Chains A and B, each alone.
Chain A
Amino acid sequence: MINRRNFLKFGFATSVAMSIPSLAEGGIKSNLAIAESTDHRKAASTAIEMLGGIDKFIKKGDVVAIKPNMAWAREPQYAANTNPEVVAEVIKLCYKAGAKKVIVTDNPCDNARSVFNLSKIPLLAQKENADVFIPQRRHYENMDIGGKFLGQWPVLKIFKEVDKVINIPVAKNHSSSKVTIGMKNWMGAIGGNRGFLHQNLHQAIFELATFFKPNLTLIDCTRIMLQGGPSGGSLSYVRKLNRIIATTDVVAGDAVACEYLEINPYDVRYLTLAADNGLGRISKSNMNIQYEKI
């Protein structure tokens, strides 16, 4: 909950993090850019700009695949899927940076047509000339995830074939993994019997986040789902935060978004698992957080 107290705490932590160099883990801190605006497109573009601009991530002629969270047959206001405006803005920026083609897809949990339709992401993405397609069986390929728990598993090929990958999750509560943000978003890029993974969910999420290496992660906190996740369905679960977090460290991004969801990131096992294994930083003191409100 972003009440004044939490906000001050957050601001304090941010300023502390910015002023005192990290003692543990020594060296480079993870960069996080947080932009807030009621204009969600503006928030997205500003966050990317603060992180160094889209040109830092997308080069001319790149084929870019975008992985939004597009899993549930819910309208955008329920925050079950990524905000379509944010996805559209990123597509626009990619083309501005000279991308050859931008592709948007996801393996949804509900019926694909129903999800693609209601989430409004494909509609807005197509308006920005992105390719949107419903995954068919041939779009998956068995790949070696290389984890202890996940070995061979069917993966949406496109996210491994393109030049650049951008991860655009939405921050949600999750009744099994506590939160679903950036790391867990990669569950949508695989096929197979995903329900099976729920029994060792944290390990699976960690291994998938290690396997998929996006060039940029943009966490959609314009609307966040505080309970009833991941699929929600009631506006009472949703809080309008109007923020976008841009980062290349998905663990750090998730940790910050966790606090928006009123969850201590250290209570989320896949985050501590990731931090302990060096996938990213969970501690604020190891982050370099910029915040801007427009």
Chain B
Amino acid sequence: MKRFRLISQITFFVIFILIFFNAIIDLNDFSGGFSLKGGIKYIFIVDPLITINTFLASHRFELIYGFSIIFILLTLVLGRFFCGWVCPFGTIHHFFSFIASKLNFYKKDNKQTNFYRLKYYLLFFILFTAIFGINLSGYFDPLSIVVKGFGIFLLPILSLFYKLEFLPDSIKDFLFYNILGREDYYYGQAFAVGFFFLLLIVLNFYKSRFWCVYLCPLGGLYGLLSKYSLFKIRRDDSCLNCGICNKYCIAQAEPGSESFKSSECMLLFDCVDRCSVRALDYTFYNKSSKIDLTRRGMVSSSVSALVGMSLINVSLIKPEKNPSLLRPPGAENEKDFLALCIRCGGCMKVCPENFLQPAFLQAGIIGYWTPIGNPSFGYCVYNCNLCGQICPTGAIKNLAIEDKKRFVIGTAFIDKNRCLPYAYNVNCMVCEEHCPTSPKAIFFYEHTVLKNGKEYIVKNPMVNPELCIGCGICTYKCPVSDMPAIYVTSIKKGGLLT
């Protein structure tokens, strides 16, 4: 069984990798418009936590997420197979736990603790806050974490690798066309995302599959379901009570004792394979095990959800008061956006000019790691709607390209103290030349200046707020590059330009 499990883990991990890296713009095909080779939506359709939580928070449901019902039903029959056989993050943890055990990191006994309950409390906490419109699943859902970890942390590392001088051109081209899709990966929050991601992996060296056993709320959800699963590990009378199965049970399910916790069992089958007398069997076993969640824990998780929400809400800033809160094109209303966004970072991965970034506190605490545009890093490409195409939950709407071109994300302002024509009476026009709208949102008014006794014309740029969509290319290309003389803030007319 263990061999089959390994095959399944590797297969699903490869599928994950393929889906993730296939969600990239095709840089060789110049025949079509901006389109992705594939999407990341299919990673999340096996994830009922994202589905339920996003529905609770936003009251919206996309039909494709109905697919997760299949995984719920399968769990009701088979048990918590997802964690042991499918989950790509689980496979990563499993791999590092394997390494840790080979390196003899686990010197202590595999002693039982009650910390496994944490994940259920975390699940309740997340679902409880979702009822109040706050979608925390993005921070704790394993699939969101792994997509974010790959996209916001691993890809920037690979882009550093790509920039190494001595790397052969063939490898550079492979990375550019198939993995990165663009040259620059600069994210202000890459450090924090990477730290979180690495921390969860490093915890495997303390306890194998630490995240899965103690923390994962999706595992908690599948655990609750597998309490009622039809198939379970069953111990028969030939058991010698040697306890070797308990020792090798990574999941702390205690298959060799009376109190076998099927909700913890990830169907890793280490116990079945290790049993010398074949006393353990995976079979139809209609006895529901109990998850001994304490009432105190339940109450405290609910109360902490309430307290946490209050904390978040007292520190809630008015998003419209933050000038740098440039949401991606297609994100219409801040409240809905926060409820729908699962912080997976897919939009930032595919943004062709590195415009979209994980937010720090621009959208308040609750908007941490949600996408915002930063024109110092890049700009929103006029003919591109890739962020809307990739967004798995519709937080960024998949706008038709003609609508995208009219979607206003902010408005440009000129800093006359720094703008060269204003400050130094020299012509520049870089912002006007790059302005993509038609007619251009940046225009000139000419005035005559006297210099060395000679008259000549200087063209001063001005912004027409009726036409500006806030794409930020003017900021990005401004030759006063350290602190651009034209900048975009989040104030806007709203909606589409007419």
- Chain B 362-388 per-residue mask, 1 if CB under 8 angstroms from chain A, else 0: 000000000000000000011110000
What is the CA–CA distance of A231 and B169 in the complex, to the nearest angstrom?
33
Q: Is A206 an interface residue (CB 8 A)?
A: no
Given A73-B382, A136-B183, A176-B429, verify A195-B33 contact (CB < 8 Å). Answer: no
User: What are the nearest 3 A-B pairs in CB distance?
Assistant: A233-B438, A195-B479, A195-B430
Give the distance to chain A from B404, nearest Cβ to Cβ, in Å.
12
What is the CA–CA distance of A228 and B433 in the complex, to the nearest angstrom?
9
29 of the cross-chain contacts (CB-CB < 8 Å) are A73-B436, A109-B433, A109-B434, A111-B383, A111-B384, A113-B352, A114-B34, A114-B381, A117-B34, A136-B176, A137-B163, A137-B183, A193-B479, A193-B481, A195-B430, A195-B477, A195-B479, A195-B481, A198-B427, A198-B428, A198-B430, A199-B428, A199-B479, A201-B427, A231-B434, A231-B436, A233-B439, A233-B440, A234-B438
Which B residues lie at the A interface, using CB under 8 A?
25, 27, 30-34, 163, 169, 172, 176, 183, 352-353, 381-384, 420, 426-430, 432-440, 444, 459, 473, 477-479, 481
Q: Add 11 more A-B contacts to A117-B34, A233-B439 (CB < 8 A).
A: A109-B477, A111-B353, A111-B381, A114-B383, A114-B384, A116-B30, A117-B383, A198-B428, A199-B427, A228-B440, A232-B438
Given A136-B176, A195-B477, A198-B428, verify A176-B433 contact (CB < 8 Å). Answer: yes
What is the CA–CA distance of A231 and B437 in the complex, to the nearest angstrom?
10
Which A residues lie at the B interface, using CB under 8 A?
73, 109-111, 113-114, 116-118, 120, 122-123, 126, 132, 134, 136-138, 175-176, 193, 195-196, 198-199, 201, 228, 230-234
What is the CA–CA distance of A118 and B176 in the complex, to the nearest angstrom?
21
Give the distance to chain A from B295, nearest Cβ to Cβ, in Å.
57
Given A123-B30, A198-B427, verify A118-B433 contact (CB < 8 Å). Answer: no
What is the CA–CA distance of A138 and B175 in the complex, to the nearest angstrom?
13
What is the CA–CA distance of A27 and B161 in the complex, to the nearest angstrom?
57
Chain A, Cβ-Cβ closest to B175: A136
List B contacts of A134 (CB < 8 A).
27
List B contacts of A114 (CB < 8 A).
34, 352, 381-384
Query: B383 contacts A73, CB within 8 Å?
Result: yes
Query: A175 contacts B481, CB within 8 Å?
Result: no
Given A113-B352, A198-B430, A199-B428, verify A234-B477 contact (CB < 8 Å). Answer: no
Query: B30 contacts A136, CB within 8 Å?
Result: no
Query: B426 contacts A199, CB within 8 Å?
Result: yes
List B contacts of A196 (CB < 8 A).
479
List B contacts of A132 (CB < 8 A).
30
Picked from B428, B430, B436, the residue with its CB within 8 Å of the CB of A110 is B436
Query: B437 contacts A233, CB within 8 Å?
Result: yes
Given A111-B352, A117-B33, A123-B30, verify A195-B169 contact (CB < 8 Å). Answer: no
List B contacts of A110 (CB < 8 A).
381-382, 434, 436, 473
What is the CA–CA distance of A132 and B439 in the complex, to the nearest angstrom?
31
Give the distance to chain A from B27, nearest Cβ to Cβ, in Å.
6
Given A113-B352, A193-B481, verify A138-B172 contact (CB < 8 Å). Answer: yes
Given A195-B430, A195-B479, verify A113-B25 contact (CB < 8 Å). Answer: yes
Give the distance to chain B from A118, nearest Cβ to Cβ, in Å.
7
List B contacts of A136 (CB < 8 A).
172, 176, 183
Query: B479 contacts A117, CB within 8 Å?
Result: no
Query: A198 contacts B429, CB within 8 Å?
Result: yes
Chain B, Cβ-Cβ closest to A139: B169
Question: Which among A117, A136, A195, A196 has the greatest number of chain B C-beta atoms within 10 A?
Answer: A195
Query: A175 contacts B429, CB within 8 Å?
Result: yes
List B contacts of A175 (CB < 8 A).
429, 432-433, 444, 459
Question: Which among B30, B382, B478, B481 has the greatest number of chain A C-beta atoms within 10 A?
Answer: B30
List B contacts of A230 (CB < 8 A).
433
List A contacts of B27 (CB < 8 A).
113, 134
Give the distance to chain A from B440, nearest Cβ to Cβ, in Å.
7
Query: B439 contacts A234, CB within 8 Å?
Result: yes
Query: B31 contacts A123, CB within 8 Å?
Result: yes
List B contacts of A195 (CB < 8 A).
428, 430, 477-479, 481
Given A111-B353, A234-B438, verify A176-B427 contact (CB < 8 Å). Answer: yes
What is the CA–CA distance of A120 and B32 in the complex, to the nearest angstrom?
10
List A contacts of B381 (CB < 8 A).
73, 110-111, 114
List B contacts of A137 (CB < 8 A).
163, 183
Query: B30 contacts A117, CB within 8 Å?
Result: yes
What is the CA–CA distance of A228 and B435 in the complex, to the nearest angstrom?
11
List A contacts of B478 (CB < 8 A).
195
Given A132-B30, A234-B438, verify A138-B382 contact (CB < 8 Å). Answer: no
List B contacts of A231 (CB < 8 A).
433-436
Give the distance to chain B from A110, nearest Cβ to Cβ, in Å.
7
What is the CA–CA distance of A111 and B473 in the complex, to the nearest angstrom?
10
Picked from A109, A126, A138, the residue with its CB within 8 Å of the CB of B30 is A126
List B contacts of A73 (CB < 8 A).
381-383, 436
What is the CA–CA distance of A199 and B459 in the complex, to the nearest angstrom?
12
List B contacts of A138 (CB < 8 A).
169, 172
